[in-house]
Amino acid sequence: MHPVPELQTPRARLREVRPDDAEALLDIYGSPEGVRFLGRPPQTLEQVQTRLQRMREEIDRGEAAFWVMTDPGADRALAYLGFFRWDVPHQTAELGYVLAPARWGQGLMREVLPMLVQYGFEALGLHRMEARIDPGNTASIRLVERLGFRPEGRLRERTLQADGSRDDLLTFGLLRPEFRPDDLR
Ligand SMILES: CC(C)(COP(=O)(O)OP(=O)(O)OC[C@H]1O[C@@H](n2cnc3c(N)ncnc32)[C@H](O)[C@@H]1OP(=O)(O)O)[C@@H](O)C(=O)NCCC(=O)NCCS
């Protein structure tokens, strides 16, 4: 099975990530607001290219399934999302998503993530998904809560910031039997 097939919702198309998506994804990774809750400073084009190359290798090794999101019928990458740290023997992976700031607050992730989570449980055979989120990232916390993720704790001083300070991360988990796509909060 190909782990990264094209997927579609009414307002979004998910396709395989390509090296030339780096420039569009710099709208997110290169901007202070885009990386505010990601625990790292804004990145250069070269750093984003390296990130995509590493992800490509992880996908090839079966350790990740990651897509870019575009508008339907368009090609420019607007979001980068999927499963990483995929622990195949234990059927567990981490869910990650970033969206271009120009598209925030339009309900796009609320539309796309249920489909992605369903794909993860049904097609990828996952039993458990995890999400680690900065406590200040209200939109992201709201998104996972809507999907049925439960809070599982606080990872104290999990991230080291460029200024030397350390921040906590909240951790959430969702088990396959708990996911009810027809009954989202
Ligand atoms: C987090 C992110 C993916 C949200 O995507 P989005 O498409 O803008 O989210 P949606 O419009 O689908 O909204 C999701 C929920 O968050 C709420 N929300 C959206 N923007 C918000 C904001 N700035 N502050 C508070 N809540 C917000 C929405 O009201 C919605 O909640 P509701 O369902 O109760 O109405 C996007 O802001 C992003 O990419 N941020 C930068 C990268 C990032 O932090 N990724 C997550 C790392 S854990």
Distance of CA 150 to the CA centre of its chain: 17
pLDDT at 45: 98
Nearest in space to 48 (alpha carbons), one of 63, 69, 34: 34
Atom of ligand 1 nearest to the CA of 100: 39
Q: Say what the pLDDT of residue 1 is.
A: 66
CB 152 within 8 A of CB 172: yes
Q: How far apart are the first and last CA of the chain?
A: 31
What pLDDT score does 162 carry? 83
Query: Which residue, judged by its Cα, is nearest atom 43 of ligand 1?
Result: 98
Return d(Cα 174, Cα 109) in angstroms, integer: 17
Q: What is the CATH number of domain 7-183?
A: 3.40.630.30
Query: What pLDDT is recorded for position 185?
Result: 60
65: nearest Cα among 44, 93, 38, 90: 93
pTM of model > 0.75 = yes
Q: For 72, left (φ over 0), alpha (ψ -120 to 50), or beta?
A: beta
CA of 108 from ligand 1 middle (Å) equals 9
Predicted local distance difference test score (pLDDT) of residue 163: 87
Distance from C-alpha of 141 to C-alpha of 121, rounded to nearest angstrom: 20
Query: Looking at residue 181, what is its pLDDT?
Result: 84
pLDDT by 10s per residue, the chain, length 185: 678 999 999 999 999 999 999 999 999 999 999 999 998 899 999 999 999 999 999 999 999 999 999 999 999 999 999 999 999 999 999 999 999 999 999 999 999 999 999 999 999 999 999 999 999 999 999 999 999 999 999 999 999 988 899 999 999 999 999 999 887 76
Structure tokens at 10: 């009414």
In ligand 1, which atom is closest to the CA atom of 140? 1
Atom 13 (ligand 1): residue with closest C-alpha? 107
- Give a three-class secondary structure readout of 58-83: HHHCCCCEEEEEECCCCCCCCEEEEE
Please give the C-alpha separations between residue 122 and each of 20, 36, 47, in angstroms, as whole numbers. 30, 32, 33
Domain extent listing, the chain: 7-183
